[in-house]
Structure 1
């Protein structure tokens, strides 16, 4: 008799469980977007302003859902604005907050490599305004890339810029068109710097340009004296052009100033890391006349009505034109809001599904 009662209880429990599965999922009224930025430098604060502007224009909502931006700082105690450790700390906190449904950040390739796998396991999509390493999304660049960044087997990283394979190869072709034939390469040992200069080097050799050397410097360890020594070594090699894979805000300006002190006429080219606002604001003629490519359009290149309106509004609000990565940060928030509003459910998985199949979205 006891056995029959036990079986009956189990059957009743299963029936009620099945009925429970038919219930509508709980309505979500509030979600968060995690945003990581190097607000310790000017461009980071500008990007934060743009992110907030995008949310304010939507009245703080994605459809009927209230949205909060949860900001995290990526500048560490040593002054590195793009600390992979700080990015990892931010990602861990975002994962632990159940209201976070999407992550905007991983602005550099080093930071992206650090956090994409963590967030992938948590079904949190990553929208990066600036990470350009090709191996984050394409095979053939590093061992196990890009699969090792996606332990679930599902891609969850989306960038709003082109990759360095475009920048590096375009820069090499540009150097040849300008008539430069002897190139000295130097990178800052970051994933970005190494990858960018590596692609430039391969293309340059294919174009029969002479690569005099591929050198490295580490902003964490440099002093004015070591920058000067590196610059003298480069100048002694007598290159037509120095190609720099580095960030202006973290060692790039110091290296350029040292080079121009050693030889005021030395020609310099770099990637989008040298298009940061910092290099335009830094005083002194050594920072003039530098060639640089960009992974995205500057504000002056936006020709749509929406783009022109954004540039005008940003400039009138902050009394300066938006940096290219201000634009991509603004757009990242707009994309995230669209995905939250139009997802089947505004959950982590729902938002990821929508970002993977965005459909018609007009930025």
Structure 2
């Protein structure tokens, strides 16, 4: 009887810490969302295995996962749901188009938010003190790709396509501006949407301009068919540039064997896992737990979850009002980076990696 009573008392003393996570786990971008959610779940499992104490009390972490289907309206609804549920912190959202409107809601309810993947620079210009980004933004990605096109590949003419989302427009705009500053001629600018799969008319128009490369601001469900159609139209010598939205393992499958996959150069706002101290071991652990599901951002959602927990430990509290200010003082050794933030919530000294696809595999160029 005494033993049972002690067990009940111990259980009652344990504090439950709920971390919200939001990403698309339905629709065409579900593979991104599942990968992100997997990274957060892995962090939750590791934290619980560590037996974390905060403020002298043992805590148990739980993940509260929501689906925003990459839709801004669903994103704001999910954000409000997490606020109403009084979770302790949020990892997400995945897309810039859902993260930016959701950030306003989290700011209003005082909930700290760390995005592992939304790269539109506007996010950290809104003045919210509770918003943090764990990777390089589109200014670094778009500019880095334009510099590679001009300085390394020595291209002369490029075309630009964007999907009209906050992410696609943002990264394409930076590429356009930097390309022009570097002397590249932008011979065509075209627009599509994040549901399209037929790009034949757009690519036919671009083909007549004879560009050396095409920049696509968008995601891999569109980039895959675009690569197939580039091959069909004879655009087999033109590079296809893109940001982290197309820089996935899934692109290999979505391009369905198109030889133009070998012309892709894409950028991710972080260092290659293979070149990070704990990167290979982390990836092996992930692959064992979630076979064939890795895409891009799961290491960042893992680190984002850990950064929230680290701020709680340093504050000695799981109360967002108490630990929130400690996020800005982070100096956490993560899988993806030494996580420290600028005063506006941007990551200090973010890395950027360019990738290409060789022999059907994504490989780092730097």
Q: TM-score, with normalisation over the residues of structure 2?
A: 0.80
Judged with a 3 Å threshold, the aligned counterparts in structure 2 of structure 1 residues 172 and 359 are, in CA distance, closer, same or farther, namely: closer
> In 2, distance between residues paired with 1:231 and 1:287?
14
Contact 1:106 1:112 in 2 (8 A): yes
Within the alignment, does 1:43 sit opposite 2:68 as a pair?
no
Measured on the aligned residues, the alpha-carbon RMSD in Å equals 2.0
The number of aligned residues is: 311
Judged with a 3 Å threshold, the aligned counterparts in structure 2 of structure 1 residues 260 and 101 are, in CA distance, closer, same or farther, namely: same
Contact 2:163 2:193 in 1 (8 A): yes
> In 2, distance between residues paired with 1:158 and 1:297?
19
Residue 214 of structure 2 is aligned with which of 224, 233, 242?
A: 242
Larger helix proportion, structure 1 or 2? Answer: 1
Contact 1:342 1:354 in 2 (8 A): yes
Alpha-carbon displacement from aligned partner over 1:261-314 (angstroms, at most 9, x marks no partner): 212413211111111232022222245211111112333232x1x333212211
Contact 1:183 1:211 in 2 (8 A): yes
Gaps of 5+ in 1: 1-26, 76-81, 138-144
> In 1, distance between residues paired with 2:153 and 2:83?
48
Larger strand proportion, structure 1 or 2? Answer: 2
Query: SS of 2:155's equivalent?
Result: coil
Structure 1 ranges of 4+ moved more than 6 A:
none
Contact 1:244 1:270 in 2 (8 A): yes
Alpha-carbon displacement from aligned partner over 1:191-243 (angstroms, at most 9, x marks no partner): 111111111111111111111122211133x353xx21111111112111111
Deviates more, 1:56-65 or 1:288-297: 56-65
Contact 2:146 2:179 in 1 (8 A): yes
Alpha-carbon displacement from aligned partner over 1:152-182 (angstroms, at most 9, x marks no partner): xxx2111111011111111111001202110
1:1-363 counterparts in 2 under 5 A? 29-40=15-26, 41-59=30-48, 62-63=52-53, 64-75=58-69, 82-98=70-86, 100-137=87-124, 145-147=125-127, 150=128, 155-176=129-150, 177-220=152-195, 222=196, 224=198, 227-249=199-221, 251-265=222-236, 266-282=238-254, 283-289=256-262, 290-302=264-276, 304=277, 306-320=278-292, 322-361=294-333, 363=335
Query: SS of 1:328's equivalent?
Result: helix
The equivalent residue for 2:362 is none
Gaps of 5+ in 2: 1-12, 336-366
Judged with a 3 Å threshold, the aligned counterparts in structure 2 of structure 1 residues 262 and 90 are, in CA distance, closer, same or farther, namely: same
Q: TM-score, with normalisation over the residues of structure 1?
A: 0.80
Judged with a 3 Å threshold, the aligned counterparts in structure 2 of structure 1 residues 135 and 28 are, in CA distance, closer, same or farther, namely: farther
Contact 1:28 1:346 in 2 (8 A): no
> In 2, distance between residues paired with 1:123 and 1:169?
34
> In 2, distance between residues paired with 1:74 and 1:340?
27
Contact 2:303 2:334 in 1 (8 A): no
Shift of residue 120 of structure 1?
A: 0.6
The equivalent residue for 1:7 is none
Shift of residue 187 of structure 1?
A: 0.5
Shift of residue 340 of structure 1?
A: 2.4
